[in-house]
Amino acid sequence: MSKSHRKPKSAQYKGLSPQKQSANKISALPADADRAERLREVLEALIETNSRVPVIVEGKRDASALRELGLQGEIITLHNGKGLYEFSEEIMENYSKIVLLLDWDEKGDQLMRQLEENLKGQFEEFSPFRELLKILCQKDIKDIEGIPSLLKRLEGIAGITGILGAERPGQRE
């Protein structure tokens, strides 16, 4: 593509992606309310998936956060006293499919690369969960444990919007 056909960088990165801009125009929701709704949708899909597929997280606080968000299925913590290789071997022996839901900070990204190598064929189907959460949480948080408070903050802003008259579809009175 020639430079003359590219959008200026300021237009590419300013505000939301073109898809989100379109969605916002259609729904007329503020950005935070839209993010909260989309985050809720991803979490509902994760809850449904977790009813049949275990979710692997880094630590106990991440597991607690997912429980707070409504996950009721098996949640396995990575930091349980085993080495990464031994942990991966145990997962491969006991599960055919898993959801890898590690933090998207530097440490989480490094662990993710190592587990992706060790657990090929077991997680790829569900890898969009981590990527979607990473996108929806933007720069606000970089870990699973922060999702409940972020969601409450975003929904709190959405609740104020509802009071002012721009109610979301299906919003309770």
Q: Region 131-148: what's the mean pLDDT?
A: 94
Q: How confident is the model at residue 80 (pLDDT cuts 50, 70, 90)?
A: confident
pTM score above 0.75: no
Tell me which of 14-18, 65-69, 107-111 is least confident. Answer: 14-18
% of the chain with per-residue pLDDT over 90? 66
Integer angstrom CA distances of residue 157 from 19, 31, 35, 40, 135 = 22, 10, 11, 14, 19
**Average predicted confidence (pLDDT) for the chain:** 80
Mean of the pLDDT values across residues 100-123? 95
Ordered by where they begin, the domains of the chain are: 33-158 (3.40.1360.10)
What was the pLDDT predicted at 140? 92
Name the more confident of 143 and 23. Answer: 143
The CA distance from 56 to 58, in Å, is: 7
| Residue 30 pLDDT | 57
CB 107 within 8 A of CB 63: no
